[in-house]
Amino acid sequence: MIETEGLTKFYGPLAAIRDVSFQVQKGEVVGFLGPNGAGKSTTMRILTCYMPPTTGAARIDGLDCFEQSLQVRRKVGYLPENVPLYVDLTVSRFLRFAAGAKGVESKEHLREVQRVIAVCGLEKVAHRIIGHLSKGYKQRVGLAQALLGNPSVLILDEPTIGLDPTQIIEIRRLIQDLREKHTVLLSSHILPEVAQICQRVMIINKGQIIATDSPENLTHQLQKSAQIVLEVASRGSELAASLRSLDGVQSVSAGDDGGNRLLVETDRSHELRPVLARLVVEQGMDLLELKVRDLSLEDIFMQLVTEETAEGAQEESES
Amino acid sequence: MKGFSPVYRKELYSLFASPVFYVVAFTFLVISGYFFYTAVAFFNFQSFEASQNPMLAKQMNVSDMIIRPFLMDMSIVLLLISPLLTMRLYAEERKTGTIELLLTYPISDTATILAKFLAAATALAVILIGTFPGILLLATFSQPSWETILCGYLGIFLLGSAFLSLGVFTSSVTQNQIIAAVLSFGALLMFWVIGWTKNLVGPAAGNLVDYLSIIKHFDSFAKGVLDSRDFIYYLLFMLLCLFLTLRQMESYRWRG
């Protein structure tokens, strides 16, 4: 559905993205994850035909974003970053304009506008001037205009930024409802959010995609060592000492509550939980908790981004 | 031209909903009303003198002594106000970022530019219609030639539209409305006075600058002469400006 090949964009001498290639299948919800300035918006702007790439190609539904721009634009609903809106129009007037501009049949205008107003919960503010609305409502108006004309692809640039927690949950729920009918590509720098909404995550840093997979797989693959949390009722430091001598344990660090909660870092190849449990019991201690700690997406992200930076620094110093 | 009419309607709405239009229209109508009054008053004054002077009486002519000076005066006021009608068209969209919506909707750049330009031209037409009551008053007390009046108004509409087309272009090069207005005003003034050098630059270049002068072509309209050369000049002027805008928008896309 969405397809890019070797997408590169230079702003003057500065490369915003470099050789970005990915594919999004029909009906997928894909998250674009990366720190600010990583090239998320640039990629999205190329996909929505706002600007052409310097080199490479982007296709939506088999149509080239540069050569067949108008046809592509008809298939894409776009929520730009910071949600630019015509602030001097009322919500319904703006949506009627957008419906016309997006080529919705004029007979269908009213029905289509009413549909997106209902989907985005804008009934109460339909006749208010956009400039007077709160940030959350503006965001919803932005989403509503993207949904007009029922485009098969939705590209949402930071759809939840600047919203309060309740609004974020509402928008998330909205996006989850959309996945049945649309292919969604959304960007964010908030990790748990992406993990919740998306089936697949692409992590982009400094203009390059550094990882792409489902949130679970990413966590799984990138975990070079397994971390096991172990909590006993007492004598934690004593246990820590004996744990260190175990085969396959890389390190043991004590948690903050008096040394009874331990974080054991182990080799992935060994399943150490039974061994640990037995050891604790043999030593006559009370085992309170024993579990594998999954790396959160946040950890992975930090790991990837910092690894990259370290490698980059190394390369630079070598050359 | 799909997408033309929604953009056109939206631009019209934004124009007529903004106070800028009303301030501009008010100023224009007050000043041109004053010019109209002085032209008529001067004509009256001359008429009294003509009643004692048969030679002068033969030269008294409403078209030449009221309509034409009035149109020429209006053209100067138009020069001052038309940059204000066009300055926001693209500059505001660039400033607020809504240009990103406009450029990602399935509308061709040509349709957008035409819609914006014609919306401004519509506003101009509304302002010009505002001067009709004076003309109607004139027609009840004298017998002006309607052909001259229509020709003159066609001329001033074309002249004003040419001003607006240049304003559309300058609005597309910046995100600052004041810069857009100043650039457009400066360029228009240059086109206005460029003909002044026609006797200084030699015969060939003299003809060229004379042809380029934006106000020279209006003169024949004001006299009531409909000359295809002048008509074509204004059309070409508008086409060139709108074409430049199209290229500018394309370049804007590439620069991102």
pLDDT at B199 over 90: no
B240 CB-near residues (< 8 Å, 6+ apart): none
Token pair of A113, please? 């506008």
Q: What is the arithmetic mean of pLDDT over B39-47?
A: 90
Task: Give the dihedral of Cα atoms B149, B153, B159, B164; nearest 10 deg.
Answer: 170
Contact A100 B96 (CB under 8 A): no
Say if A73 is an interface residue toward chain B (CB within 8 Å).
Answer: yes
State the ipTM, two decimals: 0.87
Q: Which long-range contacts (CB under 8 A, 24 or more apart) does A137-142 make?
A: A138/A83, A138/A85, A139/A83, A139/A163, A139/A167, A139/A171, A140/A171, A141/A83, A141/A85, A141/A91, A141/A94, A141/A95, A142/A79, A142/A80, A142/A83, A142/A85
- Residue A186 has φ and ψ, to the nearest 5°, of -130, 155
What is the Cα–Cα distance from A218 to A298, expressed in whole angstroms? 11
Task: Give the dihedral of Cα atoms A281, A285, A291, A292; nearest 10 deg.
Answer: -80
What is the Cα–Cα distance from A228 to A276, expressed in whole angstroms? 10
Residue in A20, A78, A51, A59 with CA at minimum distance from that of residue A204 = A20
Contact A101 B6 (CB under 8 A): yes
What is the Cα–Cα distance from A162 to A140, expressed in whole angstroms? 12
Query: Chain A contacts of B99, Cβ < 8 Å?
Result: 84
| Burial grade of B51 (CB within 10 A; 0-12, 13-18, 19 or more) | exposed
A24 CB-near residues (< 8 Å, 6+ apart): A1, A2, A3, A30, A183, A185, A200
- Mutate which: B2, B12, B13, B100, vs A, most A CBs within 10 A: B100
- Mutate which: A50, A112, A138, A185, vs B, most B CBs within 10 A: A50
A228 CB-near residues (< 8 Å, 6+ apart): A263, A264, A265, A266, A272, A273, A276, A290, A291, A292, A293
Q: What is the pLDDT of residue B176?
A: 95
Work out whether strand A2-11 and strand A14-24 pair parallel, antiparallel, or are unpaired: antiparallel
**Contact indicator for A31, A175 with CB cutoff of 8 Å:** no
How many Cβ atoms sit within 10 Å of the Cβ of residue A13?
5
Contact A100 B9 (CB under 8 A): yes
User: What is the Rg, in whole angstroms, of the alpha carbon atoms belonging to chain A?
Assistant: 25
DSSP-derived 3-state class of residue B93? helix
Q: Where does A127-244 show beta strands of DSSP type E? A: 153-157, 183-188, 200-205, 208-213, 225-232
What is the Cα–Cα distance from B60 to B57, expressed in whole angstroms? 5
Token pair of B240, please? 């060139």
Positive/negative CA dihedral, B218, B219, B221, B226: negative
H-type alpha helices, A102-164: 109-119, 135-147
CA angle B143–B144–B150, rounded 5-degree value:
140
Query: Chain A contacts of B96, Cβ < 8 Å?
Result: 84, 87
Q: What is the pLDDT of residue A308?
A: 58
B47-89 confidence digits (pLDDT tens): 888 888 888 777 788 888 889 999 999 999 999 999 999 999 9
End-to-end CA distance of chain B: 25
What is the DSSP annotation of A144-159? HHHHTT--SEEEEEST
Contact A80 B17 (CB under 8 A): no
Q: Estimate to the nearest angstrom the gap between the alpha carbon of A213 and the chain centroid.
A: 11
What is the Cα–Cα distance from A255 to A263, expressed in whole angstroms? 7
Q: What is the pLDDT of residue A222?
A: 62
Contact A102 B105 (CB under 8 A): yes
Say if A78 is an interface residue toward chain B (CB within 8 Å).
Answer: yes
**For chain B, percent of residues with pLDDT exceeding 70:** 100
Q: What is the arithmetic mean of pLDDT over B211-219?
A: 90
* pTM of the entire predicted model: 0.85
What is the Cα–Cα distance from B226 to A112, expressed in whole angstroms? 49
**Contact indicator for B104, A47 with CB cutoff of 8 Å:** no
Work out whether strand A225-232 and strand A183-188 pair parallel, antiparallel, or are unpaired: unpaired
B148 CB-near residues (< 8 Å, 6+ apart): B63, B67, B223, B224
- Return the higher-pLDDT residue of B128 and A276: B128
At A158, which amino acid appears? E
Contact B98 A85 (CB under 8 A): yes
Q: What is the pLDDT of residue A298?
A: 67
What is the Cα–Cα distance from A117 to A92, expressed in whole angstroms? 8
Of B6, B97, B104, the CB nearest to A78: B104
Positive/negative CA dihedral, A67, A70, A76, A81: positive
Contact B5 A100 (CB under 8 A): yes
Q: What share of chain B is helix, strand, coil (3-state, %, to 5)?
A: 85, 0, 15
Token pair of B247, please? 């290229």
Query: Chain A contacts of B253, Cβ < 8 Å?
Result: 50-52
Query: Chain B contacts of A98, Cβ < 8 Å?
Result: 101, 105
Mean pLDDT, consecutive 10-residue segments, chain A of 319 residues?
89 88 89 84 91 91 89 92 91 93 88 91 92 89 91 89 79 81 85 80 85 76 70 79 78 73 75 82 84 69 66 51
